[in-house]
Chain A
Amino acid sequence: ETGVTQSPTHLIKTRGQQVTLRCSSQSGHNTVSWYQQALGQGPQFIFQYYREEENGRGNFPPRFSGLQFPNYSSELNVNALELDDSALYLCASSLGSDSGANVLTFGAGSRLTVL
């Protein structure tokens, strides 16, 4: 059973650029959620995809967008990058969207630095 994999692991961008982060969910999981984690802080929920549809969104502007593909892998796109977007971006997969413990399995994250 493979876990959650994210790419790239590290990247550096400049203000105004666009970035795409990728996530392969754990085998058998159909739900993917994305989080932004600033240094020394807890994860902040960006959005969640369940069976290719966005079914929850946190307090992030529209320049944060995403996709989920038929194989349940996912992308996070951020346009018009700002300095404050510098953070660790975590992808987590789970089975089902709401019920029970619904434990999240996290990837190792993509560390984005915006200069």
Chain B
Amino acid sequence: GQNIDQPTEMTATEGAIVQINCTYQTSGFNGLFWYQQHAGEAPTFLSYNVLDGLEEKGRFSSFLSRSKGYSYLLLKELQMKDSASYLCAVRDSNYQLIWGAGTKLIIKP
């Protein structure tokens, strides 16, 4: 079967750095996405990786290792507004998105 694993919940301090990991086992791979979802709102796109390595976008970076079936999302200089769920999704061989359950990130002052 297809599976995406992420930690259920993480806590970090305002101004700090946090890394959210995602491991996946899917039938084929055609890209990995990270989305942010605030409570009661729609998911919004953060990043896309299809080749190995690090993609940096302001305070957010995303890393991919296809051989390890592994990705992480790195958030720097955390702000209170970063409190949200972070969803990892993989596009499989049928070009369908398989989603993880999301990691709820709690930022404390």
Could you list which residues of chain A lie within 8 angstroms of chain B, going by C-beta atoms? 4, 33, 35, 40-45, 48, 56, 58, 90, 97-98, 101, 103-109
List B contacts of A42 (CB < 8 A). Answer: 4, 87, 89, 99-102
B41 (CB) vs chain A CBs: closest residue: A108
What are the 10 A-B residue pairs with the smallest beta carbon separation, nearest first? A42-B99, A106-B42, A101-B48, A98-B95, A103-B45, A42-B101, A43-B99, A108-B42, A42-B102, A106-B43
CB of A56 within 8 A of CB of B101, answer no
- Residues on A with C-beta less than 8 A from B50 are 101
With a cutoff of 8 Å between Cβ atoms, the chain B residues found around residue A105 in the complex are 45
Nearest chain B residue, comparing its CB with the CB of A90: B42
Contacts of B44 in A (CB 8 A): 106
With both chains docked as a complex, state the minimum distance between the C-beta of B100 and any C-beta of chain A, in angstroms: 5
Q: Which of B30, B42, B95 contacts A107 (CB 8 A)?
A: B42
B96 contacts A104, CB within 8 Å? no
Q: Which residue from A4, A35, A56 sits with its C-beta under 8 Å from B94?
A: A56
B42, B43, B44, B89 interface centre (most CB from chain A within 10 Å): B42
**Chain A hits for B87, CB < 8 A:** 42-43
* Nearest A residue to B45, CB-CB: A103
User: How far is the CB of B43 from the nearest CB of chain A, in Å?
Assistant: 5
CB of B47 to closest CB in A, whole Å: 9
B42 surroundings in chain A (CB, below 8 A): 4, 90, 106-109
**What residue in chain B is nearest A97 (Cβ atoms)?**
B95
The contact sample of 28 A-B pairs, CB cut-off 8 A, is A4-B42, A33-B97, A35-B99, A40-B101, A40-B102, A42-B101, A43-B87, A44-B99, A45-B96, A45-B97, A45-B98, A56-B94, A58-B96, A90-B42, A90-B43, A97-B95, A101-B31, A101-B33, A101-B48, A101-B50, A103-B33, A103-B45, A104-B43, A104-B97, A106-B43, A106-B44, A108-B41, A108-B42
